[in-house]
Amino acid sequence: MSQGNPITIDIWSDYVCPYCYLEFPVLDALKNSTDREITVNWHAFELRPFPNPTLPPDGEYLHTVWANSVYPLAKERGLDIKLPPIQPYSKDALAAAEYAKETPHFDAFHTAMFKAFFEEGRDIADRAVIEDVARATGLDPKAVSDAIDKGDYRERVDRSHDEAAALGVQGVPAIYLTDTVTGQKLRLPGAAGLKQFEAAISALSEANERKIA
């Protein structure tokens, strides 16, 4: 039986953000290290909407960031990722994920989309790639493609982005922890580690205890 109030973790992320993928091992470790009931909700935040240019895949900026930050963190967290050879737009992939949320296959699709980009170097803006990931994770690829074309799911991506912007989010991952009983919230910095999550949960507990006292 879990002890303490359940915790909801809301994360705004983008499939082209390596630090978002690097939260996966941390969240797995958190669920194993706490007796709290943990619910994770993923929200779309398109980092570079069209027509803003994507980052040059061979540019100095990306290679420097990966060498100095991403690769060391990936090694620490046990993920074998590599700088993708392309930097695609992510809106269709994010829209497909919004559709997947209406099915039992979201978690599998969500993980597989990150893996397709950061482990396999696939172009996640390519509709054929999105359909292939959908098929491999139990979704109907035609239904996913039709959902993207319909436009409603792209609009959901935009609304999610606007909600995050209203909270002051400018980059991802943007992580918020909420005590689902008291409603108290804490925001964590991007690429937060296990100790930061555990400290945040403890802080929420202490705040609740002070409130009760």
At 4, is the pLDDT very low, low, confident or very high (cuts 50, 70, 90)? Answer: confident
Residue 6 lies in a domain: no
Number of domains the chain contains: 1
Check whether 213 has a pLDDT greater than 50.
Answer: no
| 43-74 residue pLDDT tens | 999 999 999 999 999 999 999 999 999 999 99
Exposure of 200 by Cβ count < 10 A (0-12 exposed, 13-18 middle, 19+ buried)? buried
Check whether 207 has a pLDDT greater than 90.
Answer: no
Residue 2 lies in a domain: no
Predicted local confidence at residue 209, as pLDDT? 62
Query: Which residue, among 195, 173, 208, 168, has the nearest Cα to 9 in the 3D structure?
Result: 173
**Contact, 130 vs 142, CB < 8 A?**
no
At 41, is the pLDDT very low, low, confident or very high (cuts 50, 70, 90)? Answer: very high
Q: Helix 141-150 vs helix 91-100: angle between axes, to the nearest 10 degrees?
A: 120
Residue 114 lies in a domain: yes
Residue 45 lies in a domain: yes
Over residues 68-97, mean pLDDT: 98
Residue 4 lies in a domain: no
Predicted local confidence at residue 27, as pLDDT? 97
Check whether 2 has a pLDDT greater than 60.
Answer: no
CATH at 111: 3.40.30.10
At 205, is the pLDDT very low, low, confident or very high (cuts 50, 70, 90)? Answer: confident
Q: Helix 141-150 vs helix 152-166: angle between axes, to the nearest 10 degrees?
A: 70
**Contact, 125 vs 92, CB < 8 A?**
yes
**Contact, 40 vs 70, CB < 8 A?**
no
Over residues 200-209, mean pLDDT: 84
Exposure of 70 by Cβ count < 10 A (0-12 exposed, 13-18 middle, 19+ buried)? buried
At 206, is the pLDDT very low, low, confident or very high (cuts 50, 70, 90)? Answer: confident
**Contact, 103 vs 141, CB < 8 A?**
no
Residue 27 lies in a domain: yes
Query: Which residue, among 196, 153, 188, 183, has the nearest Cα to 172 in the 3D structure?
Result: 188
Q: Tell whether omega for the bond before 88 is within 30 degrees of 0, i.e. cis.
A: no
Residue 1 lies in a domain: no
Question: 87 vs 212, which has greater pLDDT?
Answer: 87
Predicted local confidence at residue 210, as pLDDT? 58
Q: Which letter, b or e, does each residue of 151-182 get, where b requires 16 or more Cβ atoms within 10 Å of its Cβ?
A: eebbebbeebbeebeeeebeebbbbbbbbeee
| 155-203 residue pLDDT tens | 999 999 999 999 999 999 999 999 999 999 999 988 999 999 999 999 9
Average pLDDT of the chain, as a whole number? 95
Provide the residue range defining the domain that includes 37. 11-212
End-to-end alpha-carbon separation of the chain, Å?
A: 25
Q: What is the pTM of this model?
A: 0.94
Residue 98 lies in a domain: yes
Give the pair of three-digit tokens for residue 40: 């994770």
Check whether 123 has a pLDDT greater than 60.
Answer: yes
